[in-house]
Each structure stands twice: as C-alpha cells, then as structure tokens.
Amino acid sequence: MQSRRYRLLAVTFIAPSFLVILAVVIFPLLYSLSLSFMHWDALFPGRQFVGFRNFIQAFQDKRFLLSFVHTGVLLFSIVGLEFLIGFIIALALLEEFYLHKVVTALFILPVTVIPTVAGFMWKLIFDAQYGPLNHVLSILLQRDIQYTWLAQTSTAYLSIIVTDVWQWTPFMILVLLAGLVSLPRDVLEAAEMDGASGWQKVRLIIIPMLRRVATVAVLLRSLDTLKLFDIIFAMTQGGPGTSTETLSYYIYRNGFEYFRMGYTASLSYIALAIVSIVVLLLFGRLEE
C-alpha cells in the first residue's frame, strides 16, 4: 500500500519533465529523421524520398568534413590554452592576499557575458582602424599599424581563440582554484620542508592530485566548444572564405540561409550521432 503510493509519487514527480523533453527534443528529432531521407529544398515545391543520398552526400561534402577539422582545431587550442592560463592564474590566486575576494570576483565577470556580446566586444578591439589593439601596437612599434585581424585565416583563428579564452578561462580558474584549495595542506608543507622547488611541487604533487577536477573542467569545456556557434556568428561568419566555419555554423547555414531542409536534417543527425558517442564515452566519468 505504502509502496504503491511511493511509486506513484515517484513517477508523478518525474513525468512532467520527462514529457517536456520528449515533446521538445525527442519528438522533433523523430520527425526530422524522416526528413533526412528526403530531397526537400524549401525554395522549390515538392519533396522526394531519396534513401541515404543525403547522408552519402554529406560524407562527400568537403565543407562539412572541413567544418569538423575547424571545430577540432579550435577545440584543442581553446581548451588547451584555457587550461594552461587558468591553471597559472589559479596558482597565483591560491594564497590569500589583500583584496583577494574582490579580485576573484572580478575574474568571474566574462563567464556571464552574452557570447554574442563577447564576440562584438572583441570584434571592436580587433578592428583594423577603430580598434584599441592596433593602436597599442602602433604605439609600441612606433609606426601606424592597421592590421586586419579577421581578414586573414590564421589571425581570424587567433581572434576567435582569444575571445573564447577570454570568456571561459575564468571558468577554469574557478574550478581549478576550488580543486587547489581542497588539496591537503600538510602534503604541500611536507614537500616544502623537504626542499622541493616550486616547479617540483606543481609537477609531482599538485598535478597528480588535481587530476579529477582538471578532467571535469576539460571535459565540460570540450563539450561546449564542440557546439561553438555564437562567437563565430558574431565575429567571422565563417570567413575569410569558409575557413572558420564550425560544425554548428555550417549546419545553421544549410538550414537557415540556404534552406536545404532534407540535407540539413541529415547533417544534424550525423552531428548528433558523433556528439552522442563522445558524450557517452566521456561523460560517465563526471560523477565518479
């Protein structure tokens, strides 16, 4: 009797959330599954069943394949840099000092800025004529610099990376700092007694003990970078050429600029499959 009420309550608690997800994620996905086997171009009337043609075409679509490469390049450089810089700053923040709280609080701000806004902020900073970056460089180098950061592939990447590093390194700082703070003090002090240098302390004690927290942080950032869209949208729109088109951005273009409905559905599915595999493989670790 009690167990029945128990179960009833348990299920009523879960049901609404379950239904929402079902309605807004699963149902549309099932619907678009059928679309992914169709040739449907919104600009022209008529749909036609074409079997796996969209999928085959996707794997021959150079821009689609390259968008994986672009995403990968960005992912590794962004997450790597964020970790490195975040770690250094977290170390610097480890010990208390005057205004410690205020400084830590200030570091948080970028995380909460709307990514589109972050993109525009940096676009303005990188602006060839009106941007402060070129101005500072001009002063330092004693000549007029009007470098177009976003017009060259390599510096466009650099700009995107800087923007994302700006926005998300604070996350790394906070997480790693939390990890550092919880390290047992006595181990560190003992090492110091034994005359370990700063670098030895980091390499032999801090890094191994920080592994779990670091894994979590890197994992979360990687999964987020995999869907990189907002900054690209605000800063480069995939340019110059198509050299900074990420996976999300390319799919967006197909669906909402070129209106290739069937094809977009199949691209979405491929992306979904790949991301799901990554999530399944890596994410189980999160709660360990």
Partner 1 sequence: MKGWTRYVILGAALIFFLFPIVWIILTSFKNPGEFLSHPPKWIPRQPNLTHYFAVTQLGGYKALKNTLIVSSLTTLISIILGTPCAYSLARFRVGGKNLAFWFLSHRMLPPITVAFPVFLLFRSLGWIDTYQALILTHLTFTLPYVIWMMRSFFKDVPIEIEESAQIDGCSYWQIFTKIALPLSAPGLVATAVFCFIFSWCELLFGLVLSRTEVVPLSVQLPRYFGQQMVFWGEIGALSTLSMLPIFALTLFMQRFLVRGLTLGAVK
Partner 2 sequence: MFKRFVTLILVFLLVVLLANLAEARSAAEIAIEEAKKYAGQTLTITWESGLQAQGIRAILPEWEEKTGVKINLVELSFWDLHDKVIMEHLAGTGAYDALAISYAFMGDFVSAGVIEPIDEWVAKYMPPEALEDIHPAFKRAFQYYGDRMYALTADGDVLILYYRKDLFEDENNKLEFQAKYGYELSPPKTWQEFYDIAKFFTEKYAPEIYGAAIQRGMQSYSWFTGQFIAYGGQFFDLETMKPLINEEVGIKVLQDMLKQNEVMPPGIVKWGFMEVLAAWLDGKVAMIITWPPVGRWSEGYGTRTKQLAWVPPSKVVGKVGYAPMPNNRSTLAAGFSVGVASQSKKKDLAYFFAQWLTSPEVSLQVTMLPFTLVDPFRLSHYRSPMYRNAWDNAGEYLDTLYEAAKGGVLELNIPGAREYFAALEQAITACFAGEDPQKALNKAAQEWENITTRIGRENQKRAYQAYLELQKSIWEGQ
In the region spanning residues 68 to 127, those forming contacts with partner 1, defined by CB under 8 A, are 85, 88-89, 91-95, 103-118, 120-122, 124-125
Residue 239 is classified by DSSP as -
- What's the min distance (Å) between Cβ of 11 and partner 1? 7
Stretch that binds partner 1, among 20-28, 62-70, 75-83, 188-196 (CB under 8 A): 20-28
- Give residues in contact with partner 2 (CB under 8 A): 41-45, 127-129, 144, 146-148, 150-153, 156, 238-243, 256-260
Residue identified by tokens 């990188």 is: 126
Q: What is the distance between the alpha carbons of residues 171 and 109, in angstroms, rounded to a whole number?
A: 10
To which H or E segment does residue 167 belong? helix 153-181
- 48's enclosing H/E stretch is strand 47-49
222 binds, among partner 2, partner 1, none (CB under 5 to 8 A by kind): none
Residue type, 270: I
Instruction: Rounding to the nearest 10 degrees, give the CA dihedral for residues 182, 188, 190, 195.
Output: 180
- Is residue 264 within 8 A of residue 252, CB to CB? The reply is no
- Per-residue x/- marks for partner 1, 185-204, CB under 8 A? -------------x------
CB of 118 vs partner 2, minimal distance in Å: 20
Question: Quick one: what does residue 243 bind among partner 2, partner 1, none, with the CB cut-off 5 to 8 Å set by partner type?
Answer: partner 2
Contact of 188 with 201, CB cutoff 8 Å: yes
Site for partner 1 in 202-221 (CB under 8 A): 213, 216-217, 220
Nearer to partner 1, 138 or 153 (CB): 138
- Closest distance between partner 1 and the C-beta of residue 84, in Å? 12
Q: How far, in Å, are 180, 184, 186 from residue 194 at the CA level?
A: 20, 16, 12
